[in-house]
Structure 1
Amino acid sequence: MVIEVENLSKAFESRVLWHGVDFTVDQGEMLALVGPSGSGKSTLLNCLGLLDRPTSGAIRYRGKDITRFGRGQTRRFRRDSLGYLFQDYALIESATVDENLEVALAPRRRAPDDSRPSIAEALGRVGLADRGKERIHHLSGGEQQRVALARLIVQQPALVLADEPTGALDDANTAVVIDILRELSQAGCAVVLATHDVTVRNACDSVFAVPRQPGRHLVANR
């Protein structure tokens, strides 16, 4: 088990967004977070990535409660274990494609027997071979999404969090996203994604419905 969420709650002053949330994510599993707009899917995802803090409850990563991590532990968790696919791609727009992927790899020293794909291999996988010298701001939105996917491919994180990864994409690019995330899961990565897209939801192994009302939740295994 990679992630175990237990009795998690999140409140903003007097407003309870959700509480009593429980689910697990195994190695190699793709789990979709679904629910109406405003239900807190992105907030829940951000709590998993320690970009936000839950009000109460526990999030265990390989048995350790990451909600209790200090700054150093949080930084190492994000650096060594976590890959994030943001809605805005979180790329350095003034840098080249290659430079963006090199930045992602810089904190992680490659061992001599490291089997992770090279930058060239990753770009080839997402259909951007020979585009490494182009600057990000010259690319279309779909191409920038592919760069973000290539970043995950070279990182090979243990946990991927994806926030509406196909929200602004056409069918062809949506299929690329699904394929890459599935390949990562098959390689042993746990994938958690927030989505409104039925196609993406149906491609996942399990679905967690973020409750419409506090205290109500449902996990449905496919």
Structure 2
Amino acid sequence: MIHVKKLSKSFGDRALWSEIDLKINRGEMTALVGPSGSGKSTLLNCLGLLDSPSTGAILYEGQDITQFSKREVRLFRREVLGYLFQHYALIENATLEENLEVATKPRRALRNKTRTAIAEALDRVGLAGREKDKIHYLSGGEQQRVALARLIVQQPALVLADEPTASLDHANTAMVVDTLREMSRDGCAVVIATHDDGVRDACDVVFAVHEASVTSTRRTVPEELVSQS
């Protein structure tokens, strides 16, 4: 699905990482690990076109997304990407329902199923019946559940998660990992920048950014998903 080829990132004379090669497949969870300052979030931001590499290419279905025009970047983010951030990125003075509606508006196929999709997504993350609650009344764990529900409604092909469990307790961390695993089983590719050993061990592939090395940790990807990558 995604092929990172000889990617490098520098800030002035400092090379953050160089010559990175990495393949990200559908139906697979990939952990980006490394010490603070190793560039995990920067690599994630390059995958999401929020930052630009210094050299190299990021191929999505054969196209180098680093060369996309502004219009192509907007379409890629709208049609392919889903984000899960440590600080949730929700509209705090809006309701749960209004936050999830934002994910359906750019996707025409979802517009006619908005209420059903939102209700089902909130039920999956344990927030059934709370569509009218305001975000600013929720706990941190509940807000991350809303962010997950937003991803479920959006149905992205690629999820980028930046330290999504850093401020969560064990139960909410398990819920995040389980939901992302369900999405990967449905054919989504999930990439997580994390310091959490438990999250790392739950992933199929671990990429140590500071060493530019890959380790397979669990299962193989189903053949029918590999054929789509």
What is the TM-score when the length of structure 2 is the normalising length?
0.91
Decide whether aligned partners of structure 1 residues 112 and 45 sit closer, same or farther in structure 2, where only a CA change above 3 A counts. Answer: closer
- In structure 2, what is the equivalent of residue 4 of structure 1? 3
Deviation (angstroms), 1:88: 1.2
Amino acid at match of 1:217: A
Within 2, Cα distance between the matches of 1:165 and 1:209? 18
Q: Equivalent residue of 1:11, what SS?
A: strand
Match of 2:60?
61
Question: What SS is found at the alignment partner of 1:207?
Answer: strand
Question: Mind listing any 5+ residue stretches in structure 1 that lack a counterpart?
Answer: none
List per-residue Cα deviations over 1:82-113 (Å, max 9, x = no partner): 00001111111111000000011100012699
2:129 maps to a residue whose letter is D
| RMSD, aligned α-carbons | 1.4
- What residue is the counterpart of 1:109 in the other structure? 108
Structure 2 letter corresponding to 1:220: T
AA paired with 2:49? L
Letter in 2 for 1:38: G
State whether residues 104 and 111 of structure 2, in contact with CA within 8 Å, keep that contact through their aligned partners in structure 1: no
Give the TM-score taking structure 1 as reference length.
0.94
Does the 8 Å contact 2:10/2:16 carry over to 1? yes
Instruction: Tell me what 2:146 maps to.
Output: 147
Change (3 A) 1:111 1:92: closer
Runs of 4+ more than 4 Å apart? 111-114
After TM superposition, the structure 1 = structure 2 runs for residues 31-46 of structure 1, keeping only pairs within 5 Å, are 31-46=30-45
Aligned ranges 1:27-106 → 2 under 5 Å? 27-106=26-105
Q: Distance in 2 between matches of 1:107 and 1:41?
A: 29
Q: Distance in 1 between matches of 2:61 and 2:186?
A: 17
* Structure 1 equivalent of residue 130 of structure 2: 131
Q: Give distance in 2, aligned partners of 1:51 and 1:87.
A: 16
Q: What letter matches 1:19 in structure 2?
A: S
Which residue identity lines up with residue 205 of structure 1 in the other structure? D
Matched, 1:218 2:213: yes
Change over 3 Å in CA distance of 1:100–1:210 after alignment to 2: same
- Percent identity of paired positions between Structure 1 and Structure 2: 67
Provide the secondary structure at the position in 2 that maps to 1:160.
strand
Contact 2:105 2:111 (8 Å CA) reproduced: no
Taking the TM superposition and a 5 Å limit, the aligned residue runs for 1:139-218 are 139-211=138-210, 216-218=211-213
Following TM superposition, by how much is the alpha carbon of 1:79 offset from its aligned partner in structure 2, in angstroms? 0.4
Give the structure with the larger helix fraction.
Answer: 2
> In 2, Cα distance between the equivalents of 1:138 and 1:109?
31
> Which stretches in structure 2 are left out of the alignment for 5+ residues?
218-229
The superposition leaves residues 169-212 of structure 1 with CA deviations (integer Å, 9 ceiling, x where unpaired) of: 0000001000100000000000000001111001000100011x
Q: Deviations over 1:95-150 (max 9, x none)?
A: 10000000111000126998xx7100000110101111011111111000000000
Specify the code of the residue in structure 1 equivalent to 2:212.
Answer: H
Aligned residues: 215
CA distance in 1, matches of 2:120, 2:137: 21
